Amino acid sequence: QVQLLESGGGLVQPGGSLRLSCAAPGFTLDPYAIGWFRQAPGKEREGVSCISSRGSRSKYVDSVKGRFTISRDNANHTVYLQMNSLKSEDTAVYYCAADWEPYSAFCTTDPARGRYDYWGQGTQVTVQV
């Protein structure tokens, strides 16, 4: 059972930055594609970004392209989501999830297409003045 832990959320003003981390203490994330998802109050969960297990491919939802960057450090079993130029509409609980895709360039921000069997507990990101 892979346990994912998100961290790095908080309160930030519009235009500010945050870096979210997704770690799996005691487990290696190497065989997993990792996705970042978010859910705002009253809205459905939305796929934000993903990165393949090999780190060779990443994807972003249109609303965050050019502002968010996903990366992974397999040596330290951590995946990051750098969020710049934050907007109020980015306010949500952010979750990371792991999809078993070893040695693959595949990742998806659509949880229905991936096998996101493991999810973290989420970290709150609030963007407001």
Task: Say what percent of the chain tops pLDDT 90.
Answer: 85
- Quick one: tokens of 47? 């796929």
- Spatial contact of 50 and 58, defined as CB atoms under 8 Å apart: yes
- Quick one: tokens of 19? 């870096």
- Spatial contact of 49 and 65, defined as CB atoms under 8 Å apart: no
Which neighbouring-strand residues pair with 129? Answer: none
96, pLDDT greater than 80: yes
Q: What span, in angstroms and rounded, lies between the C-alpha atoms of 41 and 102?
A: 34
- Residue 26: the pLDDT is 87
Taking alpha carbons only, the member of 6, 64, 59, 8 closest to residue 33 is 59
114, pLDDT greater than 80: no
16, pLDDT greater than 80: yes
